[in-house]
Amino acid sequence: MSNWPYPHIVAHRGGGKLAPENTLAAIDVGARYGHTMIEFDARLSQDGQIFLLHDDTLERTSNGWGVAGELPWDKLLNVDAGSWFSSKFKGEPLPLLSQVAERCKQHGMMANIEIKPTTGTETQTGEMVALAARQLWEGQTAPLLSSFAIAALEAAQNAAPELPRGLLLDEWRDDWRELTQRLGCVSIHLNHKLLDEARVRELKAAGLRILVYTVNAPQRARTLLRWGVDAICTDRIDTIGADFKAQ
Ligand code: G3P
Ligand code: MG
């Protein structure tokens, strides 16, 4: 089985539901709760800057509007990505991947970079994120790259083959074995609802690590860990803490 330096618990979007997702403030909150690894969503601006945002559009998690990937960075730079969550986070910016890497380093945190391409930019995003990740995390634990977009994983594989990759699936695919082999994945990242104990056994027997999202009930997290799941990505960074155990 592949080298897997990552912890059992991963804070979803930085600080789960306790901070505005995918911001530097969220990373700080995740660290304050003792987490040693975070997941976040990375995409490209129209002029090729890599920054964090989950949705294609700005409306849900900021005071901006429109398709973020169609805007140049100077139009995204001053967007407020904190006020929608709470006035306490007013003015929190959309962070660049470079700032995120620096903050992770300061906190001694590992990273799962979910490559979230704006439709039509899968290859470019996969390549650019992988190349940036290689450079920004040099000398540290390699960030785990993952994506729902197969073309993005292919591009990441070509650009920085040494960085570990995980295939993200929200629906079960019977061709998971061929796909993960072709993409050279070390892990499969599944909606936890797709799993039962037999599937965990089958995936592990194929040599894959398993990360599940988004698990917010401690009892479910215990069951999944007992089955042999390697990592739980959670919004409940308070009740499913960094030291959470199966028993
Ligand atoms: O990477 C796990 C999880 O973040 C995938 O779903 O929609 O929260 O990015 P989503
Ligand atoms: Mg994500």
Residue 237 pLDDT more than 70?
A: yes
3-19 pLDDT tens trace: 899 999 999 999 999 99
Average pLDDT value over all residues in the chain:
98
Residue 212 in this model has a pLDDT that exceeds 70: yes
DSSP string, 102-167: HHHHHHT-EEEEEE-PPTT-HHHHHHHHHHHHHHHTTTSPPPEEEES-HHHHHHHHHH-TTS-EEE
230 lines ligand 1 (CB under 6 A): no
Query: Would you say residue 180 has pLDDT above 80?
Result: yes
DSSP 70: G
* ipTM for this model: 0.99
Cα distances (Å, whole numbers) of residue 216 to 17, 135, 238 = 10, 33, 10
Checking DSSP bridges between strand 9-11 and strand 110-115, what pairing results, if any?
unpaired
Q: Whose CA is nearest to atom 2 of ligand 1?
A: 213
Amino acid making up residue 236: R
The Å distance, Cα 41 to ligand 2 centre, comes to 5
Cα-based distances in Å from 51 to 68, 117, 160, 182? 10, 11, 19, 28
Atom of ligand 1 nearest to the CA of 13: 4
Give the mean model confidence (pLDDT) for residues 187-206: 98
Q: How much of the chain exceeds pLDDT 70, in percent?
A: 99
Protein residue whose Cα sits closest to atom 5 of ligand 1:
213
Q: Is the pLDDT of residue 244 over 70?
A: yes
Q: Position 169: which residue type?
A: L
Measured by CA distance, the residue closest to atom 10 of ligand 1 is 54
In this model, does residue 78 exceed pLDDT 70?
yes
pLDDT at residue number 3 = 80
Strand partners, 113: 40, 145
Overall average pLDDT of the 63-82 stretch? 98
Provide long-range contacts, Cβ within 8 A and 24+ apart, for 121-125.
121/43, 121/44, 121/69, 122/149, 122/150, 122/151, 122/152, 122/155, 123/151, 123/152, 123/154, 123/155, 124/44, 124/155, 125/42, 125/43, 125/44, 125/149, 125/152, 125/155
CA of residue 86 to ligand 1 center, whole Å: 22
State which H helix or E strand residue 233 sits in.
strand 231-234
Ligand 1 pocket check for 237: Cβ under 6 Å: no
Per-residue pLDDT band for 2 (boundaries 50, 70, 90) equals low
- How much distance in Å is there from the Cα of 105 to the middle of ligand 2? 20
**Nearest residue by C-alpha to atom 7 in ligand 1:** 54
Q: Within 13 A of 182's CA, how many CA atoms are on the CB side?
A: 10
| pTM as predicted | 0.98
Q: What would the mean pLDDT of 209-228 be, rounded to a whole number?
A: 98
Ligand 1 pocket check for 43: Cβ under 6 Å: no
Residues noted as catalytic: 12, 54
Measured from the alpha carbon of residue 144, the closest ligand is: 1
pLDDT for 1: 63
Across the range 148-165, mean pLDDT stands at 98
Residue 225 pLDDT greater than 90, yes or no: yes
Helix then strand then coil, % of the chain, to nearest 5: 35, 20, 45
Span from the CA of 207 to the centroid of ligand 2 (angstroms): 23
Any atom of ligand 1 within 6 Å of the Cβ of 21: no
Are 211 and 10 in contact, with CB atoms under 8 Å apart? yes
Distance (angstroms) between ligand 2 centre and the Cα of 223 equals 22
pLDDT at 51: 99
